A and B are shown apart, each in its own frame.
Chain A
Amino acid sequence: MGALLTLPLLELTVGLPLAATLLAIVSGRFSSGLVLGIGPAMLALAVLLCLAVGSHGPLEVAVGGWAVPLGIALGADGLSAVFVMTGAIIMPAVALFARRAFGSDPAETTQSFTFWPLFFAMWAALNAIFVGRDLFNFYVALELLTLTAVAMVAYGGTAAALRYMIFALMGSLAYMTGVALLYASAATLDIGLLSEAIEPDRAVVLAGGLMTAGLLAKTALFPLHAWLPPAHGNAPAPASALLSALVVKASFFIIVRIWFHVMPDAQSPWLVQTLGLLGACAVIYGSLLAIRQGRLKLVIAYSTVAQIGYLFFIFPLADGSAFALPWAAGAWTGGIFHALSHAFAKAALFLAAGLIIEALGHDRIADMKGIARALPMTMAAFGLAALSIMGLPPSGGFMAKYLMLTSALAGGQIFYALVMIAGGLLAVIYLFRPLNAAFAGSHVPEIAPVPKARQTIPLALALIATIIGLASSIPYQFLQIGLPEVLEGGTE
């Protein structure tokens, strides 16, 4: 196993998709085939990275041999490894799905030329965030990510893209200001060095607040969510899947890094409760709006607004469960579980919705009667993914909810437990509406043919969301590798 450490794993997780971006630009009409080579390579890299982290603990390398603070460092703990792995599964799956829409066959369009460079650049940016160890690198990666995401949203309509860009730019501005403040007071941006050097004085708290506010805009936490539904609801299905599954998680990932790794001491009751309350509002408000949507993709997009809310419960809950709960993984692990299972389930939902649109030519729920009889496999994927979103067993979403609920009740924070229960019930309502339509009637509707092979992609993603729940001990153990120090009292 020692040989694993000699491989430039971390550099490659970022470098390979970056190289693929350039290749995709030059190879033009053939670029849709690139993923057939890059995809397996990235998956192999992610597996190796997981093996390395699993057997040796957290990794850290100085790029080019230049040690921090002069050079920049990349690092991977259990959290990084599971996110890189998640990306390495979802990205190729979505790419395989997208090859029909954005391939060179049958017609060459602007989209088929631009999608692939954007796709690989997005992958590079995601991985740069997941293995990043430096707040400025986060900024660079985040900008690249936003750029690619805005471009993909523009496929669906420039108005939504413009709106997204305004939110994202304001977010970048706030984040960058926070980073500058922090640099002014600590003279470094490396996470490891910062966590030692930092004193939770007012400047630091202000910096943390600014960075968080900026990232919240990019994560689309209520009340900064207004850009998300039109953007995710109107983009082409593969783009929506990437945006909802991974892109919003990346900025959340940075928030977790900031508050649990960089400045855990700066967490104040005021901060954690604010984030928690905003999350609660997002859960309720997003779900209520999801119920009112008439179009399937908008239901799924508003569901993302709601599901993002749960992620922020880890702030109040991880605080409350910091005392020993030896058998529960605690709210932090629950929150990350939620992010992971939501990524798979939401990608599956958007891809399934994409297939329904291809089959019917629209996504109006009222006119979807009997689609389950015409596309059984797609609806099976939709149903299975919906289970995870509703937080019903045996899915990963359930395991996440169970862990968070337990720490909420054990920590006496009944409010959050009630919100989670209510959010689950609301999700049942908004997700069973399309399922209801799909089962209704007795005729088999006329549809444009959809190849079986493509239908297996959302099904596979939905199955993974379920397996995360059944085999939860594996991701659980990974998440304990390099667990933030503040949380160590909260687990075994």
Chain B
Amino acid sequence: MTQALPIALMACAFAPSFICFFLAEERTRLRNSINIAGALLKLVLIAFLLEGVARGMVYETRLQFVPGLYLLLRVDALALLFVTLSAFLWLVTTVYAIAYFGGKPNLSRFFAFFNLCVTATTGIALSGSLITFFLFYELLTLSTWPLVVHKGDEKSMAAGRSYLAYTMAGSAALLFGIVWLEGMTGPVEFARPGALANIDDWTLRAIFFLCVGGLGVKAALVPFHGWLPQAMAAPAPVSALLHAVAVVKAGAFGIVRFIYDIYGIERVAELSLGLTLAVLASLTIVYGSVRALQQTDIKRRLAFSTVSQVSYIVLGASLAGPFATIGGLVHLVHQGLMKITLFFTAGALAERLGITSIDQLDGAGRRMPVTMLAFTVGALGMIGVPPVAGFVSKWYLGIGGLQAGQPWVILVLATSSLLNAAYFLPLVYRAWFRPPAGDPPREGIIEAPAALILPGAVTALASLGAGLLAAFALSPLGWSTLIVERVYLP
């Protein structure tokens, strides 16, 4: 029975995807019900699994490819952290997407690939071996492409080309690294990494850079981030999912797995790979923020903000020490909640008020107060203002930096926070304190439909909750602490 659980978890998103491929375009109601039912069912399953894993259970399913090589799905604490986030955000994004697209064409195709993308993300989270991870990692690449080019205009097609060029090159590097490693150790399972001791240091370093570099393309590590701002050409629900869970997080999650479950954080530190990666992540954090500051388009500013924020996760993972790790892991969730809030609200603004660039924001708070309130919560969280979740991440990362003997990390965090404030606060200021533009200024609240507005509000509340209730065991922080305790105190 427990063997079937990982499969059931995958099926929650895969079955709706499969059905959508064959569903006629006009079966809107059926399509929506199936999608939402899948998402709800997944959350129920996850609740059950959370309880089991908290007690120390591990759920596994294996399928043999060729002798010795397995498709291995494994539910452990780290996997659940990511799965829970993606399942929750899948539900809200589905609701949002249904409202966002309304009666536009090609929606069966859209939801088929959208759900396939979620399936792939779940697969990445549950992967128990390198080959399984790579399989779902590629599935994610491919299922995201039709979403990026969904609109079909020249800009989306160019974004799709750029996306493929970056991610395919990254995948090639990753595959090369994986096969190189497995050629020496045999197939690698995360729980039982092969005998790395016999491999010389430089080979290990080379493999690490190939794999982490390949993963870094999706995690938008500088200089591999070029595709992400371009991919903004995609519809808002796609951007939301791309930036919060699916693609960039898959890269970051892969880096975490690679450091902790293959090399081991001690080995990574010994080879001075941790420090190198931490420096690279810090550069990305600062560079992304500076670039964000230069943008005038809201979605592009958010995109560069993602470049910066995702590297917090990488930074936390690459520093040796429990606090840094907790900070990185918890930011995986926190950034997802906050960033999806920002994208939901930016999409709603563009859809309802036609606002795409920053100078159009004047007075938006009066016309869409709920939306702008949610946006403000997300923005404050990104800056790191307590009690929003982002503060918790930064706090733990800072302490982690000190604990790892790298006090400069505090400086990076401070610089980044200042820059975050510099590029988010003007938006908040314009929306609330400047009079609406236009002559005569347009007035009246236009917060509708609910399905377009509420998802942003819900995720904003969730980011507040994750910060306020951080002390609880089932909060993102509590769960990350549990993961880290299991890593450091086996």
Contact = CB atoms under 8 A, between A and B. Distances in A.
Q: Do A and B bind each other?
A: yes
Given A409-B179, A425-B172, A439 B65 contact: no
A424 B174 CA distance: 13
Contacts of B134: 393
A439 B146 contact: yes
Interface stretch (A70-78, A80-88, A400-408): A400-408
Given A326-B68, A393-B139, A424-B172, A402 B152 contact: no
A290 B21 CA distance: 30
A399 interface: yes
A441 interface: yes
Contacts of B171: 392
A47 B135 CA distance: 30
B161 A402 contact: no
B106 A373 contact: yes
Contacts of A333: 66
B67 A327 contact: yes
A439 B139 contact: no
B68 A439 contact: no
A439 B149 contact: yes
Contacts of B157: 436, 439-440
Given A380-B21, A421-B175, A329 B152 contact: no
Given A326-B68, A327-B68, A409 B152 contact: no
Contacts of A329: 66-67
A386 B308 CA distance: 35
B183 A406 contact: yes
Contacts of B106: 373
Contacts of A406: 179, 182-183
Interface string A383-415: 000010000111000110011011101100000
B366 interface: no
A442 B172 contact: no
Contacts of A392: 138, 142, 171
A472 interface: yes
B200 interface: no
- Main secondary structure, interface of B, reads helix
A428 B171 CA distance: 12
A473 interface: yes
Interface residues of A, number: 39
Contact of B168 (A327, A410, A425): A425
A327 B183 contact: no
B153 A410 contact: no
Nearest to A433: B161
B88 interface: no
Contacts of A428: 164, 168
Interface centre among A327, A406, A439 (most CB of B within 10 A): A439
B66 A472 contact: yes
Contacts of A439: 146, 149, 152, 157, 160
B42 to A, nearest CB: 21
Identify the interface centre among A373, A393, A428: most chain B CB within 10 Å of its CB.
Answer: A393
Interface string B121-157: 0000000000100110011001000100101110001
Contacts of B142: 387, 392
Nearest to B168: A428
A49 to B, nearest CB: 22
B432 interface: no
A421 B180 CA distance: 12
Given A380-B21, A472-B66, A405 B139 contact: no
A233 interface: no
A332 to B, nearest CB: 12
Given A399-B65, A399-B66, A442 B153 contact: yes
A466 to B, nearest CB: 11
B214 to A, nearest CB: 11
Interface string A451-472: 0000000000000000001101
B179 A402 contact: yes
B230 to A, nearest CB: 15
A405 B66 CA distance: 15
B64 A473 contact: yes
A136 interface: no
Interface in A278-329: 326-329
A117 interface: no
A421 B176 contact: yes
A436 B131 CA distance: 28
Contacts of B186: 326-327
Contacts of A473: 64-67
A421 B179 CA distance: 11
B151 A405 contact: no
Contacts of A432: 161, 164
The 5 closest A-B pairs by CB, nearest first: A327-B68, A410-B183, A393-B135, A409-B183, A405-B179
Given A329-B66, A432-B161, 4 more contacts: A329-B67, A392-B138, A409-B183, A436-B149
Interface of A: 326-329, 333, 370, 373, 376, 380, 387, 392-394, 398-399, 402-403, 405-407, 409-410, 417, 421, 424-425, 428, 432, 436, 439-442, 469-470, 472-473, 476, 492
6 contacts: A326-B186, A392-B138, A393-B135, A421-B176, A439-B152, A470-B63
